[in-house]
């Protein structure tokens, strides 16, 4: 791949990627106190930027993190940073906000740290969408599930376990209550007898998830409810959604086939509906 010149934003400055650094005493590094959001571009325009910024502010409010800027200011900085990255390929935008450098390692500063990272967008193999993916389950209930915080320790651990088994994702289940919530970096949908379900318990409100629910309102109304583990095991079809994954079919869970072990007709339709929506947008 041709070498590109990446420019990041760090606390008011546009810097080359290699020079974009923060203080080692930042509470985001010392304690993981911070939030982020992740946006992709289509035609080099940030997709659903307002929805992502809304979620960013909600994430911050849930951990009592004062962003220190308005939504419009954040939006303006994101777009300014994009303009500094002039290479033509599609991009991903990671907005990170931490509690900055406080008087101690447990005390946030009134002056937060704001970082915007622009990276090349790496698409998943087309085979994932045509043939489906394999995932594992992992027993975990994410605390403060509505906040997209910096703490991804369990996500990284469970994703590593999944990859060792040839999987792409890990689905969080609660063995005690026998329920299923979401995946490490994705939301989960399952299909049974032609009906689509997604959990509304202990899950992040995914921007792609919310869009899918709206797009399917007329054709396949989605039921948001607590999902029993038994329903996941007996599902006819399963798919996950995320900004970087779009709509991705799941055909194997814990070495057990989902339905017939192939991408189902409704999932194929949902993929088509999503991509038609993206392609029909006027940027």
What pLDDT score was predicted for residue 281?
86
- 121-136 pLDDT, tens per residue? 999 999 999 999 999 9
Write the pLDDT tens digit of every residue in 181-194: 999 999 999 999 99
Domain spans of the chain, in order of start: 7-120, 126-280
pLDDT category of residue 17 using cuts at 50, 70 and 90: very high
- Cα distances from 183 to residues 68, 96, 186, 205, 267, in angstroms, run 31, 21, 5, 12, 17
Question: Does pLDDT of 87 surpass 60?
Answer: yes
CATH for the 126-280 domain, from 3.30.70.100, 3.30.1310.10, 3.20.10.10, 3.40.30.10: 3.20.10.10
Residue 1 burial by CB count (10 A; 0-12/13-18/19+): exposed, middle or buried?
exposed
> What is the structure's pLDDT at 13?
98
Please tell me the predicted confidence (pLDDT) of residue 122. Answer: 94
pTM for this entry: 0.95
Give residue 282's pLDDT band: very low, low, confident or very high (50, 70, 90): confident
Does residue 1 have a pLDDT over 60? Answer: no
Place of tokens 């629910």: 213
Per-residue confidence band for 213, with pLDDT thresholds at 50, 70 and 90: very high
- pLDDT tens per residue across span 134-153: 999 999 999 999 999 999 99
Q: What is the pLDDT of residues 159-208, one digit of tens each?
A: 999 999 999 999 999 999 999 999 999 999 999 999 999 999 889 999 99
Mean pLDDT of 73-79: 98
Report the topology of domain 7-120.
D-amino Acid Aminotransferase; Chain A, domain 1 (3.30.470)
The reported pLDDT for the residue numbered 124 is 97
pLDDT of residue 245 exceeding 60, the answer is: yes
Residue 50: pLDDT band (50, 70, 90) is very high
The rounded mean pLDDT for the chain is 96
Query: Which pLDDT belongs to residue 2?
Result: 65
Q: What is the pLDDT of residue 249?
A: 98
């Amino acid at each position: 791949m041709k070498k590109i010149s990446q420019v990041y934003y760090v606390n008011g400055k546009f810097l080359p990627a290699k020079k974009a650094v923060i203080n080692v005493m930042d509470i985001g590094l010392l304690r993981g106190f911070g939030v982020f959001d992740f946006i992709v571009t289509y035609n080099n325009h940030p997709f659903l930027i307002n929805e992502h910024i809304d979620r960013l502010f909600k994430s911050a409010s849930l951990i009592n993190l004062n962003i220190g800027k308005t939504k419009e200011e954040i939006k303006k900085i994101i777009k300014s940073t994009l303009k500094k990255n002039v290479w033509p390929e599609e991009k991903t935008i990671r907005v990170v906000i931490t509690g900055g450098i406080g008087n101690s390692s447990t005390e946030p500063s009134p002056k937060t740290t704001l970082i915007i990272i622009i990276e090349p967008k790496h698409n998943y193999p087309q085979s994932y969408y045509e043939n489906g993916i394999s995932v594992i389950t992992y027993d975990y209930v994410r605390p403060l599930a509505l906040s997209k915080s910096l703490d991804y320790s369990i996500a990284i651990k469970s994703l590593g376990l999944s990859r060792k088994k040839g999987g792409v994702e890990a689905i969080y289940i609660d063995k005690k209550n026998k329920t299923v919530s979401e995946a490490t970096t994705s939301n989960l949908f399952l299909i049974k007898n032609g009906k689509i379900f997604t959990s509304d318990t202990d899950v992040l409100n995914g921007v792609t998830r919310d869009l899918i629910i709206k797009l399917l309102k007329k054709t396949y109304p989605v039921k948001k409810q607590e999902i029993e583990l038994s329903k996941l095991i007996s599902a006819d079809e399963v798919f996950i959604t995320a900004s970087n994954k779009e709509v991705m079919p799941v055909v194997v869970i814990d070495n057990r086939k989902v339905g017939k072990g192939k991408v189902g007709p409704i999932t194929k339709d949902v993929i088509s509906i999503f991509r038609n929506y993206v392609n029909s947008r006027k940027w």
